[in-house]
Amino acid sequence: MSPPERAPALLVTADGVVFAGEAAGASRPIATGELVFNTAMSGYQEVITDPSYAGQVVAFTNTHIGNYGTNGDDDEAPRPRCEGVVVRDLTAVPSNWRSTEGLEAFLVRHGLAAITGVDTRRLTRHLRRVGAIPCAFGTAPEAELRAAAAAAPTTDGLDLVSGVTATTTSTYGDGPLRIVAFDFGVKATMVRRLAALGRVTVVPAGTTAAEVRALEPDGVFLSNGPGDPAALSGPRDTIAELLGRVPIFGICLGHQLLAAALGGTTYKLPFGHHGANHPVQRLDTGVVEITSQNHNYAVAAGSVPDTEVTHVNLNDGVIEGIRSRRVPAFSVQYHPEAAPGPHDARYLFAAFNALMQRTATSAGQR
């Protein structure tokens, strides 16, 4: 099968750098968003459907994207929330027994614009120099794309969670433990991991502490999600009300919000951590885990009182995990559910289970 004929397209960053390519995915003259790069070698469907990418355009550093197609089982959310996709080579004919749809057909069905044929090595080097930056891409004239890129917002100060969270409550699993999971942009794989531990009630991000307590949970889970944690004062205050009343486990944005509820602060990384091969050291054992990551913000070192740092990123020293010394609560910055990515850190779900069991036993003995 010959590759499809494509219209010429451009990608322009807010600082005026231009990258040539060809239009792909859903037809759109201009698409905008904050441009980040992801280094995962596979798992593009899970990346594209991760709600944590809301407001962002994802550039893949792996050369060939779409090789094995897509299928419904690998979706992490009902639809993509990112603003666009940038690739070097979009495969026209996928080859995999699990594939039910090609990646481009998937993008078209979901109305997601893409650009292919881009020199993603040059693009990644630029992002490593200047950091995550707004961009515009599409078939519009260069002058229009330049103006759109200059006007496009970053994720700083934006509440992007309200655009991806559930509007209703849903329940999964039937085990003896009761878990309330805050949906800040939760991935389907996280829910599956939690449902293996007990009955999981997924609630909207705006759920109050009183509403959570009324569900009488054995544990509360804080999910991943997009945007700036500093813009989420409501969820932060809710978590603060729950501290000490119920065991809490947070991942990614949930980690940042737990740190904020404990009195800490967050800051924006230059270009974030986006990929499936980041080395993280578990400090109590010295073991190095290879981890999946997707975040632009991080917890400031030394800012969270009465906690210990449990994990650190060996690439840049960023805090990757904390544990409270005064209440049953812990969190990690990376993605132990591993979709996509290695399974080195799935033990953290067992650790959450053990924390809930211990807390429930202690409460029963009092």
Give the residue numbers annotated as catalytic, written as ranges.
252, 335, 337
* Sequence-separated (6 or more) residues with CB below 8 Å from residue 294: 38, 47, 50, 52, 53, 224, 252, 272, 273, 274, 335
Contacts made by residues 305-312, CB under 8 angstroms, sequence distance 24+: 305/262, 305/263, 305/264, 306/262, 307/259, 307/262, 307/264, 309/283, 310/282, 310/283, 310/284, 311/280, 311/281, 311/282, 311/283, 312/280, 312/281, 312/283
Residue 149 CA to residue 179 CA, distance in Å, equals 42
Helix runs in 165-321, H state only: 188-195, 209-214, 233-242, 253-261
* Sequence-separated (6 or more) residues with CB below 8 Å from residue 249: 219, 220, 221, 222, 329, 330, 331, 348, 351, 352, 355
* Cα distances (angstroms) measured from residue 63 to each of 13, 43, 66, 347: 21, 13, 10, 32
